[in-house]
Structure 1
Amino acid sequence: MSSHSVRVRFAPSPTGPLHLGGIRTALYNYLFSKKHGGTFILRIEDTDQKRFVENSESYILETLKWCQIEPDEGVGYGGPYSPYYQSQRMDIYRMYINKLLKKGYVYYAFDTDQDIDKKRKEYSNRDLTFSYNSRNRMYMNNSLTMTKEQLHDKLQSDSYVIRFKIEPGEKLKIYDIIRGNIIVDTDHLDDKILLKSDGLATYHLAHTIDDHLMKITHVIRGEEWLPSTSLHVLLYRALGWTTPNFAHLPLILRNNGKGKISKRNTNNLNFPIYPIQWKIPKTQILIPGYRELGYLPEAFVNMLALLGWNPGVKKEIFSLQELIHLFSLEKIKKSGVYFDIKKTNWFNKKHLKKEDIFAFLFREVKKRSILYKKKDYLWKVIYLTMDRIHFIHEIWEHSSYFFVSPNSYEDNFFNKICHENTIIELENAKILLYNINSFSSVNLTCFFQKKKNKHKIMQLFRLALVGSLKGIDIFIIFEMLGKEESLLRIEKLINRIKEKI
C-alpha cells in the first residue's frame, strides 16, 4: 500500500448524537489513515431530510475534537472535493443517474406506497414476503413494462422513483478485509431505490458516487452496511469504476447479552453511550456523556480502540501515537464485542496524571481557603490516595480529611459507641498519644500493636480523624496530621458523644 494513497472517510448522518459505535468507526478510520500517512475526511450524509436533527453537526465536530481525532479534510475543514454535504451534491448525483438510465442499469418505477402495501398484503396472506426484484418487477408499474410513449406521458404527470436493475443468476464475490471472502447470490437481491420521489438520491447512490469522486481507498464502516455492500459493488461496476477496499466493523453489544448498543435503548442502560453531552432539542433534557462524567479523552479513546481490535501485545494502556503505530484492520474481530463499564473506569484510572490531580486538589483546597503546610504535603496526599480513585473529581472525597476536621460522623457506628465507656477509652488513648515523643506512623504502629482491644480503638481513632471508617492506614493519617491536630479531633469526637448522651 503506497503511503500517500490512503483516503478514508467518516460519513455520519445528522440525525442526533454519535454513540459508541459511531465514534469507534471514526476512530478506526482516523487510526488507519494516520498509520499509512493518509487523509481522514468528514462527510455529512444528509440526504434524509426527514430525520434531520438540529445541532447534530456541531455535536459531531465537537466530539471528534474532544477525542483528538480531527479530520484532515471535509465539513468544517475544507478541501479539494467540496461540498462535503450530500444535500449540496444533488446535481452531481443527477448526472450519474442519467448515465445509468442511458446504459439501462436503472429504471423508472411509478408504483405508489399504496400499490406496494397492497402487494405486501397479498404476499403475506400466502405466507410469502414481497420483494421488488427480478422475479416481480415485470408485474409492477415501471418503465420496464411500458412503451416509450407510455413512459413519456407518465414522466410528465406522475411522480416516480428510480430503481437499480439487479441481474439475477450471478454469484457476486466481495472481499472484506475483516471478514474475508463473501459470496452473494444476486437472485436474493431486490431492486433498491437510488433516487427518491422527492428527487433526492438515497444513501446507496450518493455515497458510492462520493466515495469514487473523493478518491476513497478504504470504506471502514459498521456491520449494518454489510447487506447493502453487494448493491454498492454492482453500482461501482455499472459506472465502470474500481471498488474501494471494504472493512465492516463488529457490533458493540451490551454486556448483559441483550442486543447491540443503540440510541434507541439509552434509558435502560447502566452506562453512558454518548462521548459528550447531548441536549435533546425538543425537551432541552441533557444526557451527560463520558466527558461530563469525568472520563479523560485519552482513556475513552484507549478503551474504544480495544473494543473490537486486538493489537496482539501484552499491554493495554496506549497513547494515541502508540495506537496509530500498532493499528491494523486485519486484527479487528468479526464477532460482536461486549462493552464493559468497569473496564472503562479502569482505563480512566490508568490514564490519570498526578499533575492533573495535583492541580485539581490545589483548586479544591484554595477555594475553601484552607491553610495547608506545603506543596509537598499535597503531593504526599495524592500518593497516599491515588489508588482509590478512578476520576480526578474523586480526589477531594478521598482526601478531604487531610485538610479539614470531620463535621459529622458515620451514623451507624457513632450511635453504637455513644456511651460512657467510649469516652473513658478515648480519654486514655489521648494521654497515651500525648506522651509519644516521635509521632511517626512506624512508632505509633509499634506502640499500639501491643494493646489489648486494638481493633476497637483503631476504629475509634478512624472515626475521630476521618468521620467514617474509610481511608488509608490510620497511623499514616496520624503522622500526616501531626499530634496537635490529631488530639483536637479526638477531643471533638469526645464532645460529640457527650452531647449525644
Structure 2
Amino acid sequence: METKVRVRFAPSPTGPLHIGGVRTALFNFLFAKKHGGDFVLRIEDTDQNRYVEGAEDYIVESLNWCGIPFDEGPGKERENGPYRQSERKAVYRKYAEKLVENGYAYYAFDTAETLDFHRKDHEAKGKTFIYNWHNRLKLKNSLSLSKEEVEQLIQNGDEYVIRFKSPENETILLNDLVRGEITIDTSILDDKVLFKSDGMPTYHLANIVDDHLMEITHVIRGEEWLPSLALHYMLYRSFGWEAPIFAHLPLILKPSGKGKLSKRDGDALGFPVFPLEWRDPKNGDIAKGFREEGYLPEALINFLAFLGWNPGTEQEIFSIDELVEAFSFDKVNKAGSRFDPDKVKWFNHHYIQNSTDVQLAKILQSSRAELKEMDPQYIELVAGLVKERANLTSDLWDLTRYFFKAPRDYDETAIKKAIKDDTATILSKVRDIVVHLHEFTKDNIESQVKEWIKTEGLGFGKVMMPLRVALVGSLQGIDVFEIMFLIGKNESVSRIEKLIQSI
C-alpha cells in the first residue's frame, strides 16, 4: 500500500509570519493536496526566550486568510498531537538519552566561559573553533571522562548539554527534490547540541523526533536549512528511522535581486512583507500587512506561487485548485526569486477586475463606518463602475467617495485649470438645465447639456471640467453624466451651486 503523503509547516512564534514563510506553507499545501495528503501545522516554540505573545494566533489567522488552511495542528487536534513543541517536552529527553546509550551522542559539561575561551583563543590564531572529532577528547564530556566521573557530575547537579557525535571522515550522499544530489564531508561538521541545559531540546532534535512521530513523509522548507540537512539525515540514521524526502526552496530576494527580502526593504520601498498587519506587543510598532493594504488573498497566493516555481506555460493566472493540479517539484527553481512589488499589484488588479460587484461592495462597506447603513445595491453599482481603476481594494474608497459625500474642498490644481472668469455664469446655466429636466436619466442629462454647449459654441472642456470639479472635487472620476444620474438631481444641483458660491 502506498504511504500517505504528510507534510508540515513548522514556524516559530517569534513574531509575524514573513511572506517567505507563507510561500513555504503554500508549497507544502499544494504538494499535500495534489497527492491527497495531509498538511500539518506545528508550532516550534522550543526557544522560550524568543517567544512572542500573539504570534501563534497570527500564524493561524494568516494561513486561513490566505486560503491555505492546515488539516491538523493547534485547535485541529488528531492522534499526532499535541502540536506545540513546548507541550511535547517530555518526549524529547527520552530520545536524546537513547542516542547517548547507543553511542551517537554524549554529555558535555563545558561551561560557557570555557567555550568562550577556546573561541577567542582560536580567533587570535586566525582559526575557527569547531567542537567535533578533532578536539572533543580534550574537552569536558562523557567521551573524555570516565563513567564514574560523568555520574558524579550529574549527581552533583552540574549543568550539561547533549551533543551529537558527528562521524569522522565519512562522505554522505543526500538527495533533494529541488537541489538534486548533495555530497557532505562529515569531517567539517560540528557536534551540534541536541538537548540544552534548561531541559529543552534544540530545534534539530525536536524537529527530527516530531517529524518521525507525526509520520511526515516530505520535509519542504527554505534553503536556509540546507546546512542542517546532513545532521538531520544522520539523526534519522542513528535512530534507525527512514528519513523523509527533502526539498529546499529557493530564497525570496529583494526587488533589486541582491540578498534576502527583509522587512526593511518593504519599509524603504513602501510594500508589505507580512500577510496581515502586525502590532509589536513590546513597543507597539505596526508593520504593514497585505490584507490591510488592500490585497486579495487569491492575488497574493497566485503571485507567491511564481516565486520559485514556473508551470512551464504562458499561463499566469491560477486559482488555488489549478495550482494544486499544476504544481510539481521538477518545476521549482534552485536560484532565488526576486520579489516584484509591481507584479503583485498586477495580480491584484486582475483579481479585483474579476471580483463580483457584490464582493467589492462588501469590502467597501465593511471598511467605512459611513456606509454601514447605506443601500448595498447602490454600493454594488458604484463598485462595478470604478473597479477597473483599482489596483488595491483600499483604492475603492478614494475612487468612490464622491458617490456618497459631496466634496468639502476642491483640488487646487483642478481649480486653476478649470475655473475661468465666466465659469460661474456657465455653471449657473448648467444648473438651470438640470433643474428643469423631467426625465433624469444619464442619456437625457448628457444630450441636453451637450446640445446647449453646441448651441452656445462653447469648448467642451470649458463646461465639463468645472462641472466635474463641482461633482467630484477634482478632475478625477468616471463619466460626469453617470455621476449625476447616480447621485440624483437634488445632490447634483446642490454640488454645482456650492462651487458657484465658492468662486
| Same-fold status (TM-score > 0.5) | yes
Cα distance, 1:255 vs. partner? Answer: 0.8
Query: Does 1:190 find its partner at 2:190?
Result: yes
Matched, 1:400 2:401: yes
After the TM superposition, which of the residue ranges 328-337 and 403-412 deviates more from structure 2?
A: 403-412
Who is 1:65 aligned against?
64
Q: Is the 8 A contact 2:273 2:288 kept in 1?
A: no
Hey, what does 1:253 align to over in structure 2?
253
Cα distance change, pair 396–336 in 1 and its aligned pair in 2 (3 A) = same
Helix, strand or coil for the counterpart of 1:29? helix
Amino acid aligned to 1:396: W
Report if the CA contact (8 A) 1:253-1:337 is conserved.
yes
370 and 169 in structure 1: CA distance in 2 versus 1, 3 angstrom threshold: closer
Post-superposition offset of 1:453:
3.6
1:126-165 superposed matches below 5 A:
126-157=125-156, 158-165=158-165
Counterpart for residue 355 of structure 1: 358
Alignment of 1:25-424 (within 5 A): 25-157=24-156, 158-257=158-257, 259-262=259-262, 267-268=267-268, 270-352=270-352, 353=355, 354-359=357-362, 367=370, 375=377, 380-415=381-416, 420-424=421-425
SS of match in other structure, 2:400: helix
Moved more, 123-132 or 135-144: 135-144
Whether contact under 8 Å (1:42, 1:75) holds in the other structure is yes
Matched-pair contact (CA < 8 Å) for 1:44–1:84? yes
Deviation, 1:360, is 5.0
Q: Is the 8 A contact 2:254 2:262 kept in 1?
A: no
Q: Tell me how far apart the structure 1 counterparts of residues 193 and 294 of structure 2 sit (CA, whole Å).
A: 45
Partner of 2:468: 462
| Counterparts of 2:34 and 2:243, CA distance in 1 | 22
Q: Hey, what's the Cα distance between the residues in 1 that align with 2:384 and 2:153?
A: 79
Separation (CA, whole Å) in 1 of partners of 2:368 and 2:88: 56
**CA distance, structure 1, for counterparts of residue 245 and residue 368 of structure 2:** 55
| Aligned residue number for residue 9 of structure 1 | 8
Question: Root-mean-square deviation (CA), in Å?
Answer: 3.2
> Secondary structure, in 3 states, of the residue corresponding to 2:39?
strand
C-alpha change, 1:43 and 1:347, in structure 2 (3 Å) is same
| C-alpha distance after superposition, 1:433-459 (max 9, x if no partner) | 899996365786688689564444432
Question: What is the alpha-carbon distance in structure 2 between the residues aligned to residue 489 and residue 339 of structure 1?
Answer: 45
Q: Is residue 499 of structure 2 the alignment partner of residue 493 of structure 1? A: yes
Greater Cα shift, 296-305 or 445-454: 445-454
- The 8 Å contact of residues 250 and 334 in structure 1, kept in 2 or not, is answered as yes
For residues 109 and 282 of structure 2, the distance between their equivalents in structure 1, rounded to whole angstroms, comes to 36
Task: Decide whether aligned partners of structure 1 residues 406 and 370 sit closer, same or farther in structure 2, where only a CA change above 3 A counts.
Answer: farther
Within 1, Cα distance between the matches of 2:172 and 2:211? 21
Does the aligned pair in 2 maintain the 1:370–1:403 contact within 8 Å? no
Kindly indicate whether the alpha-carbon contact (under 8 Å) linking 1:12 and 1:45 is maintained by their aligned counterparts in 2. yes
* Structure 1 residues 494 and 175: alpha-carbon distance in aligned structure 2, compared to 1, 3 A threshold: same
Seen in structure 2, the aligned counterparts of structure 1 residues 379 and 213 have a Cα distance that, compared at 3 Å, is closer
Provide the rounded CA distance (Å) in 2 between the counterparts of 1:403 and 1:178: 53
Question: 1:161 and 1:265 mapped to 2: Cα distance?
Answer: 38
Q: What is the percentage of aligned positions where both structures have the same residue? A: 48
2:232 alignment partner, SS class? helix
Shift of 1:244: 0.4
> How big is each residue's C-alpha offset from its partner over 1:86-130, in whole Å with a ceiling of 9 and x where there is no partner?
223333322222222222111222211111111111111121111
Displacement after TM superposition at 1:134 (Å): 1.7
Distance 1:360 1:444, change over 3 A: farther
Rate the CA distance shift 1:231–1:269 in 2: closer, same or farther, 3 A. farther
Please give the secondary structure, in 1, of the residue aligned with 2:183: strand
For 2:367 and 2:287, how far apart are their aligned partners in 1? Answer: 26
Gaps of 5+ in 2: none
Check the 8 A contact 1:10/1:41 in 2, yes or no.
yes
Give deviations 1:320-365, integer Å, cap 9, x for gaps: 2222222222222212222223322332332232212234567899
Distance 1:370 1:253 in 2: 45
Counterpart-to-counterpart distance in 2, 1:161 and 1:184: 25
